Structures are given as C-alpha cells and as structure tokens.
Structure 1
Amino acid sequence: MTSADVAREAGVSRATVSYVLNGVPHQKIPETTRQRVWDAAARLGYAPSAAARALRTGRSEIVLGLLPDWPIEHVLGRLIQQLTNAFAEAGLTFVVHSSAHPARPLRDIWKAMTPAAVLALQDFDDVEAEAMRAAGIEVVMAMHGSPGGEPRPPLVSEQPIGALQARHLAAPHRRLGYAYPDLPGLDVLAGPRLEGVRAVCADLGMPEPDVRTVPLDAAGAAEAVKGWLGADPPVTGICAFNDNVALAVLAGLSHLGLRAPRDLAVIGVDDIPGASLAQPPLTTVVRDTDAIARGLARRVVDSLGGKETPAEPVRDDLLLRFRESA
C-alpha cells in the first residue's frame, strides 16, 4: 500500500495524506478530514515509510542508546524501558545497542542507522563523537562523562548516592568501609559513589573509608569482611556499590557465622527484588529511574529542537528504604 492508495480511499489529495500522517504543523486541515485519512490508512494497513521520512527531513526518528559491557539487570532493564516510553511520548524510537563482546563495532551501528541522537550510558572517545557529528547526528550525549571533550558535568550524578549511604551510617558508626564491585567496567559508577562516601567522611572528621573489592561469592566476600573487622580501628558500617554487592557482604558475614547489623551494618543501592528477601532484609537507596528517564529524554528532545539544555544533572530524587541490615 502507498499513500496514493490512502488518498483514493479517503477521497483526498496525496499531499493531504502526507500532511496528516506525518503530523506536519501549520496545515489547516479539518478534523473530520484528518480522521478520514487515519481511518483509511487503518483499513488499508498503511504506515508512513520511516526511510522516506528520514530522506525528506534529513534525519531519522531514532535515538540510539549505547550500553557498555555491563550486566543488564533489574535497574538497568527498568531504565531502558522507561527511556523507551519517554522517547515514544516525544515521537521518537529508542533503540539499544550493547557493546558486550562480540558486538559489531560502534561505528558500524550508527552509520547503518543514522539516528537523530545518540545517548550513551558511558563516555566514548572524542574521535567517535566528532565522527558522529560530522555524519549529521545532531545530538551526542553521555550519562556519565562528556563526549567530544565538552566541559560539562555528567547528565546523571552518582556522588549523592554514596553521600546518602554514608550519612545514614555515620551517626552510629565511627569508621566506614566501601564494598567496591569486582567488575572494572563499573568504575564510572563506583568511583563517584565512593567519592560521595569520602566527602561525607571528610566533612564529619571520620577516617577515610576502607575500600575493598567484593566478589559475588560468599567465600571471597568473607575475606573482605575479615579485613574490615580486623582493621585498626575496625570498620562497623559498609556502604556497598549496589544491592548485589551488599548481598555478597551479607553472604560473607553468614559464611563466618556473623550477622548484620550486629557485627557489620550494610547498606546497598537499587532495591532489587531480592533485597527485601535477604537475611536480614537489606537497607538500600532507591533511585527515581522514571524521573531520570524523563529528564534524559527531555534533554535530547530539547537539543534536537535547538533549545539550550541545563548544565546541571537531571533530577534524581533518592529515597532510603530502611530495613534491618543497617
């Protein structure tokens, strides 16, 4: 089916069909005519060609989301879905590409898709960013980092998470530890969260946090727990990178016949489904991922529209979910 078929079915010109189905503004088309066009298109099963629209407007309606080689678990999966919804409300399609091996090179992907915008979770090198812009991709953004060497803060800030964890533990505990993830690719998140813990410790006159890498197994986590408890002075409160790492710390305590919060208080991040089922149930920081998704989508849409976007990170209201582990 073509737009000519729709025009004949609706009894209007082909130009009118194009104006209606492509949402062209400033056209004085009666609402009854618009509805007749939509009804005819539905009866015939016609949809406007995305490829033809891209040729006409000079860009596609695709936002390419670039994922680093990270585990796609509960929170990241939820954020992807919410970004998909937020972009859809703006008439854009969010398409995700993961860089996990053996994925095709990033340049092959954006050249094939020619998206209107690229939104990356992690920074990429300046050469790649400039190549995208030279190819006509109007908006190139990274949640963490500044592509193209732009001196901007990250779109999403991680430091407040660590700061909230540390402030919660600081009153009853005089020395804190940080449970760092055993996956180097997560440094872009873990580093700033650790800086948030460090900043609170410094402000309160507490010692530097004792940082230990915690693998996701009970025996390995137990070694980190023994190190914290054997420190001088001993660590009694742990800020974990996320709930998975926090659950590993709880498993390490159990492996040693110990229990939180009596022997070591533990606080995580993300409130994954298993957090409330842990023994003891895990205290955790909850992020408003829907607000993050809508804020990111708004930045992209405004940039595509030529509007100036704020320099500060998008709104991310944090909530501390109190349970028994801390």
Structure 2
Amino acid sequence: MSGRSDRQRVTSADVAREAKVSRATVSYVLNDSPRQKIPEDTRRRVREAAARLGYAPSAAARSLRRGRSDIVLGLLPDWPIEHVLGRLVQQLTDALAQHELTFLVHSAAHPARPLREVWKALTPAAVLALDAFPEAEAEAGLMRAAGIEVVMAVHGPVRSGHRSPLVSEEPIGTAQARYLVQAHRRLGYAYPDVAGLGALAGPRLDGVREVCAGLGLPDPDVRTVPVDPDGAVEAVKAWRAADPPVSGICAYNDAVALAVLAAVRSLGLRAPQDLAVIGVDDIPGAALAQPPLTTIVRDTDTIARGLVCRIVDALDGVQVSADPIQEPLWVHVRVSA
C-alpha cells in the first residue's frame, strides 16, 4: 500500500490502484451494479482495498447517481427533548437508514440558524416537520419549488394545503379517560405549562372531553401544572375543592403526572385512594414513582416506520395515504390509578 497523507480524502482512484482494477470496476462493485458481471474474487479485492484505505463514497456522487440527495431533514419545534421524542428520533434514524437515507435534525429553538439557510445548504430529498410551525409553513412552497417533494407535518394544524397530521393525539386522551371512568365520575386534566406543547396537549385533552361527554359526565377540570411539586400543589388543592371533587387525573405526560403525585404526597394525600393519576409515555422514572405510575404506553417504533414508509413512497412516486398512522396504545397498570 502506497504512503498517503492522512489529511487527504481517499478517492475511488486510490481504491482502484490498491486493488489493481479500473475506477469503473470500483464503482460497479461498491455500488452493487446489477448489470455488471464481475468475478467474486475481484469484488472481494475491491471491498478489502476500500476497507483498508477507509474509503467512503462521496455523498455528492451518490446524489448525482440517484438524481436526489439521501438526506431527510427533520424539523423539531421548540419542544423539550424528552425521553420519548429522543427515542422517536433514533427510531426514525434507524428506519431511514434501512432505505439508505440519512436523518438530520434541525431545531427551531432560538437562536437556531434560519431554516432557509439549512435546507438550501443540504438540499434534502424530503422534509419531515413534527409540527407545522410558522417558519416551515412559509418555506414549504419554496422547498417544493426547489425539488423537495415531501413536506409532512406529523402534528399541528393543517394549513395552506399541508397534509393532515400523520399522528393523532386524541386516542391517547381517550385511552386515559376510558381507564379512569371505570372507577371515577369526575376527571381532571393536568395541562403542561409549556406553551409550544399545545399541538400535543390540546388533542389529548379533546380525547378526554369526548369520553366524558359520551358518558354524560362533567367536562374535565383543566389545570395547568408546572413540573415541580410546589406548583402542582395548587392544582391538586383546586381539584379536591371542586364540586363535586375531582378524583381522577389524566396528565399530559409522565413528567406532569409525577409532579401531581409529588403534590399529592406533600399534602398528606394518597394515590389512588384520594386522587388517581394516569400519565403518558412510560418513561423509566414511572416505575420508580411513589406510588408507581400507571401510564399509557406508545409504540413509537410503529410511528417511525409508518412515517418512513410514507416518505419512501412519496420519493418513489407512489400514492401516499393521508390517513393517520394507526398506533397501538395500551395501559401499563401500576398503583397510581
């Protein structure tokens, strides 16, 4: 093997010299060209040479060969990056990689680089927006004009011809309420104190309201609950003082539910005897709560694979379903409800 500076990028010409073949042969082997009959010994020699030299095919070359970039740009709104969102990003990364697509995430949290600069620099094949936040809305037409055919909103309102949200949050609130109304006739809803989470919390609350209305029960008593015990105490006091008293709480997520449980303990009350609480997400801390938290479990792998299927279909020119992804939900019953 000839000596080379580690600072120089290894090229297909280097691999060709190392394997003693033509650059065309290197391209055929590393791209698995189906129409070329190349002896297996030659293929092995090329792959071994590429591995020794640390050769990585140029992303630009791959884009030219395919006629598009291999990048899917994920747009995150200004939301907390918590356990479930982090898991979904990883599962999207893995599922897209199976289709030789690379998932890159851009957050809208201030002071992020302007979205227009990001997509123009990357020229992604597709854009997946978790929420239809204003900057993405304004850019959608420009992206499509630039050849970026897929601009999907996972959550958020439908505006200016955007597809319907691909993941429905209402069934989560429905599942929470259906579980609690087996033993509780007055429900409360613990709403998050992060304004940007309304795209998730609003539909979940709608699901709780629908169950209550369908059973002729009072509308849920909605209180904004910060993720700290002192702030949650006031909400618990208000629920207990209501007429009739609230006895079951559907929390926006497990973090909010844990704050409610902490407030219950600090007031000398018990869960579920005095106030039952059910969360969402089954985060690792849910099983460690006092008492252990009953929660709704989401199948984020199904969500990730459903989103990737739609992206790949759209890139291949296949008709894409506008129906929400059917995500299985189940209740992990512990002690709190």
The answer to whether the superposition gives a TM-score over 0.5 is yes
Q: Give the alignment partner of residue 63 of structure 1, picking from 61, 69, 72.
A: 72
For residues 1-326 of structure 1, the aligned pairs below 5 Å read 1-125=10-134, 126-145=137-156, 149-150=160-161, 152-326=163-337
SS in 2 for 1:149: coil
Q: Is the 8 A contact 1:140 1:147 kept in 2?
A: no
1:21: how far off? 2.0
SS in 2 for 1:186: helix
Which runs of 5 or more residues in structure 1 are unaligned? none
1:20: how far off? 2.8
Offset from partner CA, 1:198-255 (integer Å, 9 cap, x none): 1111111111111110011212111111111111111110000000000111111122
Q: Is the 8 A contact 2:173 2:206 kept in 1?
A: yes
SS in 2 for 1:286: strand
Matches of 1:34 and 1:301 in 2, distance apart?
Answer: 29
Matches of 1:33 and 1:302 in 2, distance apart?
Answer: 35
Matches of 2:33 and 2:149 in 1, distance apart?
Answer: 21
Matches of 1:47 and 1:279 in 2, distance apart?
Answer: 51
Flag the 1:304–1:23 CA change in 2: closer, same or farther, 3 A. farther
What TM-score comes out, normalization by structure 1 length?
0.94
SS in 2 for 1:59: coil
Matches of 2:18 and 2:234 in 1, distance apart?
Answer: 74
Q: Is the 8 A contact 1:271 1:285 kept in 2?
A: yes
SS in 2 for 1:112: helix
Percent identical residues: 72
What's the Cα RMSD here?
1.8
Q: Is the 8 A contact 1:141 1:147 kept in 2?
A: no
Q: Is the 8 A contact 2:174 2:208 kept in 1?
A: yes
Q: Is the 8 A contact 2:153 2:163 kept in 1?
A: no
User: Mean Cα displacement is larger for which, 63-72 or 27-36?
Assistant: 27-36
User: Mean Cα displacement is larger for which, 193-202 or 15-24?
Assistant: 15-24
1:102: how far off? 1.1
Matches of 1:7 and 1:26 in 2, distance apart?
Answer: 20
Q: Is the 8 A contact 1:127 1:148 kept in 2?
A: no
Which runs of 5 or more residues in structure 2 are unaligned? 1-9
Flag the 1:146–1:139 CA change in 2: closer, same or farther, 3 A. farther
Matches of 1:102 and 1:157 in 2, distance apart?
Answer: 30
Amino acid at match of 1:142: A
Matches of 1:286 and 1:99 in 2, distance apart?
Answer: 27
Offset from partner CA, 1:169-218 (integer Å, 9 cap, x none): 01211111110000010000001101111111111111111111001121
SS in 2 for 1:115: coil
- State the match for 2:7 in structure 1: none
Offset from partner CA, 1:137-184 (integer Å, 9 cap, x none): 121112114676336431111111000000000121111111000001
1:19: how far off? 2.8
1:25: how far off? 4.8
Matches of 1:16 and 1:148 in 2, distance apart?
Answer: 50
Question: Number of paired residues?
Answer: 326
What TM-score comes out, normalization by structure 2 length?
0.91
Amino acid at match of 1:175: R
User: Mean Cα displacement is larger for which, 280-289 or 311-320?
Assistant: 311-320
Amino acid at match of 1:80: V
Flag the 1:231–1:81 CA change in 2: closer, same or farther, 3 A. same
Amino acid at match of 1:94: F
SS in 2 for 1:142: strand
